[in-house]
Amino acid sequence: MKLVHTVAELREEVAIAKSQGLSIGLVPTMGALHEGHASLIKAANQENDFVVVSVFVNPTQFGPNEDLDAYPRTLEADCKLAEKMGANVVFAPSPAEMYPSVDATWVEVTGDVTKVLCGRTRPIHFRGVTTVVTKLFNLAQPDRAYFGQKDAQQVEVLKRMVKDLFFNLQLRIMPIVREADGLAKSSRNTYLSAEEHTAALILSRSLQAAKEQYATGERDAAKICAAVTASIKSEPMANIDYVEIYGLPELTPVTNPMVGSNLLAVAVKFGTTRLIDNVVLEDK
Ligand code: PAF
């Protein structure tokens, strides 16, 4: 496996792979790789001949008071895991390499899909994500790109971008990977104290209960949200940002009664750490 840092080096690796007729799988990440990322790299390796993993803590998707500086940076361990899971290249550029101009060019998906849920408290976040992902798509020219369902809103935003900008690639969305205790894997879990980690288990428990409520016939979104909110509030360390349900795809307003596929998404702070989790409510 090769570690490269520049756009020129990545382009060269991609050109060689393309000249050999190899299919390319791209796994965009911000590093601090965990088993969730490992599952994406593994799938990319199974479905493509050549796998590029990008490791870049993208400054443009962090708000001014967010955790850009604190975000874990573990490139050496990331390379080991990426190699073990079958990556051919790790691309770890500097911010200056990815943003060479002072005045940036933005790629922005507009509409409710970027305004609701995380878009409300993180107004520039998705513009940063879509801009950097566009750059990565242009550089790696993947046949398939891999993202985790844990960032469910990001997935909907990227689907819109791929459709609207005619990117000639397939988005592959992989299921949420959880700790044995139920906590959804996240690079930000490392911020949690042992006490906060235990408190955060309320998220997966509440979402699981909502799934069961749905399975037994409940179709009133407000009732499901109220039950999840009450359950999370029973945990004194939890500070709710949102508990909401939107229609899929594209996070449309939920209907009453709920029909089709709907996303129940939560964002909750434990201490200074904001965690997100979600479940899709749909008939089997
Ligand atoms: O999901 C992430 O880790 C990031 O938002 C992504 C897609 C790598 C863009 O920086």
pLDDT tens track for 252-281: 999 999 999 999 999 999 999 999 999 999
Which helix or strand (DSSP H or E) is residue 50 part of? strand 50-55
Ligand 1 mean position to 230 CA, how many Å?
Answer: 31
**Length of the chain in terms of residues written:** 284
Name the fold adopted by 2-174: Rossmann fold (3.40.50)
Angle 164-134-279 (CA atoms, 0-180°, nearest 5)? 75
Ligand 1 mean position to 216 CA, how many Å?
Answer: 35
What are 4's two structure tokens?
């490269």
Which helix or strand (DSSP H or E) is residue 89 part of? strand 89-91
26 lines ligand 1 (CB under 6 A): no
DSSP H stretches of helix in 74-220: 75-84, 95-98, 112-115, 118-121, 125-140, 152-164, 194-215
β partners of residue 28: 54
pLDDT tens track for 16-35: 999 999 999 999 999 999 99
Rounded Cα gap, residues 150 and 115, in angstroms: 18
Does 5 participate in catalysis according to the annotation?
no
132 lines ligand 1 (CB under 6 A): yes
Residue 257 CB neighbour total at 10 angstroms: 10
Contact between residue 283 and residue 217 where contact means Cβ atoms under 8 Å apart: no
In this structure, the residue with its CA closest to atom 8 of ligand 1 is 29
Rounded Cα gap, residues 87 and 284, in angstroms: 34
Give, in order, the Cα–Cα distances in Å from 121 to each of 8, 116, 118, 228, 232: 36, 9, 6, 20, 19
What are 170's two structure tokens?
């397939």
151 lines ligand 1 (CB under 6 A): yes
pLDDT tens track for 186-230: 999 999 999 999 999 999 999 999 999 999 999 999 999 999 999
Average model confidence (pLDDT) across the chain? 98
CATH of domain 187-277: 3.30.1300.10
pLDDT tens track for 33-72: 999 999 999 999 999 999 999 999 999 999 999 999 999 9
In this structure, the residue with its CA closest to atom 3 of ligand 1 is 29
- Tell me, what DSSP letter sits at residue 233? H
What are 212's two structure tokens?
């069961």
Best substitution site from 132, 136, 161 to test ligand 1's pocket, by max atoms within 8 Å of Cβ? 132
30 lines ligand 1 (CB under 6 A): yes
Instruction: Choose the catalytic residue: 34, 37, 125, 197.
Output: 37
**What's this model's pTM, rounded to 2 decimal places?**
0.97
pLDDT tens track for 87-122: 999 999 999 999 999 878 999 999 999 999 999 999
Residue 62 CB neighbour total at 10 angstroms: 18
Listed by start position, the domains of the chain span 2-174, 187-277
Position 102 scores a pLDDT of: 81
Rounded Cα gap, residues 253 and 281, in angstroms: 14
β partners of residue 252: 247
Rounded Cα gap, residues 149 and 137, in angstroms: 19
